[in-house]
Amino acid sequence: MAKKWGIRGLVAFGIYVLIMYVYLFHLNNGGIPDSLKGSPSDPETFMTDQELLLSGEYSKIRNFLFFILTPFEWLLYLFILISGLSYLFEKWSNVTKWKIMHNATYLFLLSLLTFIVFFPIDYFRYTLSKGYGISTQEFPSWMRDNIIDFWVNFVITVIVISVLYWLIKKSTKKWWFYAWLLTIPFSIFLMYIQPVIIDPLYNEFYPLKDKELEEKILLLAEEANIPAEHVFEVNMADKTNAMNAYVTGVGDNSRIVLWDTTLNRLSDEEILFIMGHEMGHYVEKHIYIGIFGYILMMFVGLWLLSKLMPWFIRKYGKILKIESLQQIHSLPLLLLISSFLLFFSNPLYNTVSRYQEARADQFAIEIVENPEAAISGFQKLAKAGLSEVNPPTLVKWFRYTHPPMLERINTIEETINNK
């Protein structure tokens, strides 16, 4: 029976991969509406023919990888379960009476296996990005980031999973609710320490060096009634040619971060628009709205897990080699269901995120009052990242947390025309 499940899973995955390949490579040409041709949002007006070609190729490959990797992850978890590997990992972990060490050993074996399986794919994505001129990171630096990722995720996972399975043993019916209650302070704690403990493990952060630009940002912040003492830049030029800026942290650890690539390649006027955008997130409390949304999604997700996990174990426990939800070797099933739920919640999350980003754009337009700089800045961002300005519908739904550049530039152009 387990063999049949494996074969069915492989066949279903193969059919899905074929469908996504046809959809992304043959049914979508990435064109733009005729009414926008020749406008500032038309990539032919600000990208060279070579950049247009590379952008199309790079976007299709990245989108294809995104859509096949998550189902591949599901297939891997299914294999770990039906092959008995998860059960063996737990058996091999019984080397100590200390439960935390038992869990840590099991999680190390599981994490190591998934790291090894996904390493060739991660390396391909790294070489792809470097081949298309996006990444500038050397292999030792990239490998160092991967190792840091592994250990940071491992430590957090040991804490979360140990507490989760302790709660499951203590209360088989209400564990999900108690787990949800704990996610609230834990998530806020992680967001609080992210800028000062986790992020510096990967890159060097320091206060903005350009004091003249800093003064302009401070004046803009003062106009918007925003405390702007937390403006940082980060050294990303050794890793990428792409540009970015973002808001991170909560409370007195909140900060606006600018990549040095953004500072090096955009004019002060274009940077001020980006800063206005990030200030829009601050003014409209998007970070706190995001925290509330995350907490709400965790409530729904954990409740669904509490219903789906026991059902799968009752119906397919023998095939999956799981006797009880309380056994930690049931974790791959929990991860499989969680990944499935997260994947199909992406359209909802991304829709809300795109709305917030559009609101932040509108705030920046109003406070900076330089739409021309906004348009030129967006064009440079699209060029630097070989962005797909008008992605296929499914790609937009599942991948885009920001409105596509076509929409962002066109919205600003309409603002100019309406004045």
Can you tell me whether residue 255 is helix, strand or coil?
strand
Can you tell me whether residue 387 is helix, strand or coil?
coil
Residue 281 labeled ligand binder: yes
- The parts of the chain modelled with pLDDT lower than 50 are none
The verdict on residue 307 lying in a domain is yes
Residue 405 CB coordination number (10 Å): 21
CA 39 vs CA 54, 246, 277, 413: distances in Å: 21, 28, 23, 9
The verdict on residue 249 lying in a domain is no
Q: How many structural domains compose the chain?
A: 1
How many Å apart are CA 249 and CA 93, to the nearest integer? 36
The verdict on residue 107 lying in a domain is yes
Residue 26 labeled ligand binder: no
pLDDT at 323: 87
User: Is residue 62 within a helix (H) or strand (E), and if so which, with residue range?
Assistant: helix 49-82
Could you tell me the two tokens for 196? 């000062």
Q: Is 361 a catalytic residue?
A: yes
- Tens digit of pLDDT for each residue in 325-379? 888 999 999 999 999 999 999 999 999 999 999 999 999 998 888 889 999 999 9
Could you tell me the two tokens for 179? 């787990």
State the residue range of the domain holding 145: 2-202+286-418
The verdict on residue 278 lying in a domain is no
Q: Measured between alpha carbons, how far apart are the two ends of the chain, in Å? A: 68
Angle between helices 85-92 and 49-82 (to 10 degrees): 70
How many Å apart are CA 84 and CA 411, to the nearest integer? 54
pLDDT at 288: 82
Can you tell me whether residue 248 is helix, strand or coil?
strand
User: Active-site residue among 73, 90, 199, 278?
Assistant: 278
pLDDT at 419: 62
pLDDT at 359: 94
Q: Are the CB atoms for 59 and 298 separated by under 8 Å?
A: no
The verdict on residue 105 lying in a domain is yes
Residue 73 labeled ligand binder: no
User: Active-site residue among 42, 361, 407, 413?
Assistant: 361
- What residues contact 193, with CB distance under 8 A and at least 6 apart? 253
The verdict on residue 256 lying in a domain is no
- What one-character DSSP code corresponds to residue 245? E
> What sign does the CA torsion over 136, 140, 144, 147 have?
positive
pLDDT at 329: 92
Q: Is 199 a catalytic residue?
A: no
Can you tell me whether residue 258 is helix, strand or coil?
strand
CA 9 vs CA 71, 74, 310, 317: distances in Å: 10, 9, 21, 17
The verdict on residue 279 lying in a domain is no
- What residues contact 77, with CB distance under 8 A and at least 6 apart? 332, 333, 335, 336, 339
pLDDT at 227: 67
pLDDT at 182: 93
Q: Are the CB atoms for 339 and 70 separated by under 8 Å?
A: yes
The verdict on residue 242 lying in a domain is no
User: Is residue 119 within a helix (H) or strand (E), and if so which, with residue range?
Assistant: helix 99-131
